[in-house]
Amino acid sequence: MKETKSELLQIRLTELEKKVIKDKADLLGITVSDYVKECCVYSNVSEMFINQLHKQEII
């Protein structure tokens, strides 16, 4: 059973930030939504961010 996508996420960006995200998605041949999901949900950046937060807490 495929899960229905019903949630909407809104963010505020500068015009340049929006263009960069769209250009990167276009370069990969995917939608902006898919690009953001790949970068934010499926990448190891989240793990790197969490590790960085833990380093700061130790200091």
pLDDT value for 58: 58
What residue ranges do the domains of the chain occupy? Answer: 15-58
pLDDT value for 46: 66
The CA-CA-CA angle for residues 4, 31, 14, to 5°, reads 110
Tell me how long the chain is: 59
Alpha carbon distances (Å) from 40 to 34, 51, 58: 10, 15, 25
List per-residue pLDDT tens for the chain, 59 residues long: 788 989 999 999 999 999 999 999 999 999 999 999 998 888 876 677 777 777 766 55
pLDDT value for 57: 62
pTM above 0.85, yes or no: no
